[in-house]
């Protein structure tokens, strides 16, 4: 990275003008006369206070003899055991104790059993993400055969693996300022990102003067991530990117002059 002028911005969503901790407006003051055209996230701390199962993505449908019975799993963090307990209580509340659920630690899959009359199936529709926890494709209908249904996929209780910080200060169609990977972090800890090569992760700025910019933290499905009352901290580097062509040209001209001398 080659920079001619720069400024560090320490952004804390708690000091936002409006909005929430994960979707907010923030004023950034760029001194008069400072020419900047590029931005880069040098570091970012995101509290992993968001849930595995989140509102708006927590619905599924139990279909009994062609009749749909929508249900919701309460938002929160779950594992294979307590999720099946909650799900089983909901299903048996609909179908009068007709369901059982077992989990295999060998295959990582659920086996669902239904002892009631008629047909049964689970229906999953966008934007629900319960398929990950139930062991099915995100958009699918999964039918019991002979009173038994084994989950198609290994169940997944790993929360959102990739977060994206969006901002209207970025001059491209994605508006992504920086992506952050959860790696092996655990719920209720912090995700910490540090940029090792700023030049490789820099983005062209759309507005290069003082302004109120928008920021939002989204998952891989472009849905806002609720941090449940906690705030993110971001260190931004604003700078004027050196035109390398001009830099090489000046160096070449200086070399010619030196040879002429």
Q: Is residue 209 part of a domain?
A: yes
Maximum CA extent, the chain: 99
- Residues 183 and 245 reside in one and the same domain: yes
Last residue of a domain, one of 116, 150, 184: 150
Q: Is residue 170 part of a domain?
A: yes
Q: Is residue 100 part of a domain?
A: yes
- Residues 67 and 123 reside in one and the same domain: yes
Number of domain units in the chain: 2
Distance of CA 119 to the CA centre of its chain: 37
- Residues 188 and 224 reside in one and the same domain: yes
For tokens 């790993």, name the residue.
158
Domain residues for the domain of 77 are 59-150
Helix/strand/coil for 99: strand
Q: Is residue 51 part of a domain?
A: no
- Residues 180 and 247 reside in one and the same domain: yes
Last residue of a domain, one of 104, 124, 150: 150
Last residue of a domain, one of 150, 172, 202: 150
Whole-number Å distance between alpha carbons of 226 and 206: 27
- What pLDDT sits at residue 187? 87
- Residues 140 and 182 reside in one and the same domain: no
- Residues 145 and 63 reside in one and the same domain: yes
- What pLDDT sits at residue 254? 60
How would you class 260 by CB atoms within 10 Å of its CB: exposed for 0-12, middle for 13-18, buried for 19 or more? exposed
- What pLDDT sits at residue 159? 86
- Residues 181 and 203 reside in one and the same domain: yes
Whole-number Å distance between alpha carbons of 217 and 97: 41
Spell out the residues 6+ positions from residue 251 whose beta carbon is closer than 8 angstroms to its own. none
Q: Which of 154, 117, 148 is nearest to 134 (CA)?
A: 154
Q: Is residue 155 part of a domain?
A: no
- What pLDDT sits at residue 77? 96
Let me know: does 99 contact 112? Beta carbons within 8 Å. yes
- Residues 141 and 172 reside in one and the same domain: no
Element (H, E) at 246: helix 244-260
Q: Is residue 124 part of a domain?
A: yes
Q: Is residue 141 part of a domain?
A: yes
Whole-number Å distance between alpha carbons of 117 and 1: 68
Tens digit of pLDDT per residue, the chain (261 long)? 545 678 999 999 999 999 999 999 999 999 988 999 999 999 999 999 999 999 999 999 999 999 999 999 999 999 999 999 999 999 999 999 999 999 999 999 999 999 999 999 999 999 999 999 999 999 999 999 999 999 999 999 988 889 999 999 999 999 999 999 987 788 899 999 999 999 899 999 999 999 999 999 999 999 999 999 999 999 999 999 875 445 445 554 565 666 666
- Residues 71 and 139 reside in one and the same domain: yes
Q: Is residue 42 part of a domain?
A: no
Whole-number Å distance between alpha carbons of 75 and 57: 9
């Amino acid at each position: 990275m080659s920079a001619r002028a720069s400024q560090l911005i320490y952004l804390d969503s708690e000091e936002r003008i409006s909005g929430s901790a994960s979707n907010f407006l923030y004023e950034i003051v760029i001194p008069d006369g400072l020419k900047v055209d590029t931005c880069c996230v040098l570091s970012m701390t995101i509290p992993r206070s968001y849930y595995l199962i989140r509102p708006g993505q927590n619905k599924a449908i139990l279909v009994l003899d062609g009749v749909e019975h929508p249900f919701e799993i309460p938002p929160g963090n779950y594992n294979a055991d307590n999720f099946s307990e909650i799900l089983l209580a909901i299903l048996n509340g609909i179908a009068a104790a007709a369901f059982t659920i077992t989990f295999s630690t060998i295959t990582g899959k659920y086996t669902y059993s239904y002892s009631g009359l008629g047909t049964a199936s689970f229906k999953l529709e966008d934007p629900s993400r319960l398929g990950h926890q139930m062991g099915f494709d995100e958009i699918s209908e999964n039918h019991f055969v002979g009173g038994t249904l084994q989950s198609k996929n290994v169940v997944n209780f790993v929360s959102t693996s990739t977060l994206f910080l969006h901002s209207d200060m970025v001059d491209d169609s994605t508006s992504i300022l920086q992506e952050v990977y959860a790696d092996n972090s655990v719920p209720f800890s912090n995700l910490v990102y540090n940029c090792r090569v700023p030049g490789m992760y820099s983005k062209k700025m759309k507005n290069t003067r003082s302004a109120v910019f928008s920021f939002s933290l989204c998952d891989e499905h472009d849905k806002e991530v609720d941090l449940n009352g906690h705030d993110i901290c971001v260190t931004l580097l604003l700078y004027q990117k050196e035109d390398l062509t001009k830099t090489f040209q000046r160096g070449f001209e200086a070399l010619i002059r030196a040879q002429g001398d």
